[in-house]
Structure 1
Amino acid sequence: MDFEQLMNAIGVKLSPLEIKTGVTVYIKLPSITKYPECSDPYKTIFYCVVDEDGKQIFESPEQVENSVDMPVQVKLNQEIGRLFTEAMDIESVESK
């Protein structure tokens, strides 16, 4: 088995989300150990929104809460929620 092909199939995915024209962030679902820490919208955005290299953009959940405009918070949370729902659809994952 080709390891690179395997990792492309099962590795961490970065899903692009264009916030505004020309401004794209990426959503990376948390690992199993970080999942329980996504207990509120600010922590979820903090852990799941990354740059193109998969590195966290924000310094803290408080920075998200205090510095990110509410419509952007809502957009980010909606996309994260959609990706969580899609990821938890086991039948869909198994058929891929």
Structure 2
Amino acid sequence: MDIANLMKAIGVKMTPFEVAQGITVYIKLPSVSKYSECSDPYKTIFYCVVDEEGKQIFDSAEQIENKVDMTVQVKLNQEISRLFVEAMNIEDVESK
């Protein structure tokens, strides 16, 4: 088995998202252990929005709540929600 191909198929995906012209962040769905911590919009953004290397951008959920414009918060949450729905689409999962 080719491990590189396996990891390419099942590894962590990062989806680019342009928050403003020329400014791109990446959406990475949380690990199973962090999923339960995505209990509100601010924590969801905190755990799911990363830089091009996969590192968290924000210092805390409170930073997002207090310092990120509401329109940007809504756009980020909508994109994260879209990716969650897409990732959990059972019909797209192949089974044998």
Instruction: Structure 1: give runs of 5+ residues left out of the alignment.
Output: none
RMSD: 1.0
User: Distance between the aligned counterparts of 2:60 and 2:15, measured in 1?
Assistant: 21
Percent identity of equivalent pairs: 75
SS of corresponding position for 1:43 = helix
The residue aligned with 1:57 is 57
Contact preservation (8 Å) 1:42, 1:61: yes
User: Distance between the aligned counterparts of 1:9 and 1:2, measured in 2?
Assistant: 11
1:58-93 CA-partner distances (Å, limit 9, x unpaired): 000000000100000000000000000011112213
Instruction: Structure 2: give runs of 5+ residues left out of the alignment.
Output: none
The residue aligned with 2:82 is 82
Contact preservation (8 Å) 1:14, 1:28: yes
Contact preservation (8 Å) 1:87, 1:93: no
User: Distance between the aligned counterparts of 1:2 and 1:21, measured in 2?
Assistant: 39
Q: May I ask how many residue pairs the two structures share in their alignment?
A: 95
| 1:53 CA displacement | 0.3
List aligned pairs for 1:1-96, cutoff 5 A.
1-94=1-94
Q: What is the TM-score of this pair, normalised by structure 2?
A: 0.96
In structure 1, what residue type is equivalent to 2:23?
V
Structure 1 runs of 4+ with >6 Å offset: none
SS of corresponding position for 1:55 = coil
Q: What is the TM-score of this pair, normalised by structure 1?
A: 0.96
SS of corresponding position for 2:47 = helix
In structure 2, what residue type is equivalent to 1:8?
K
User: Distance between the aligned counterparts of 1:59 and 1:20, measured in 2?
Assistant: 20
In structure 2, what residue type is equivalent to 1:47?
Y
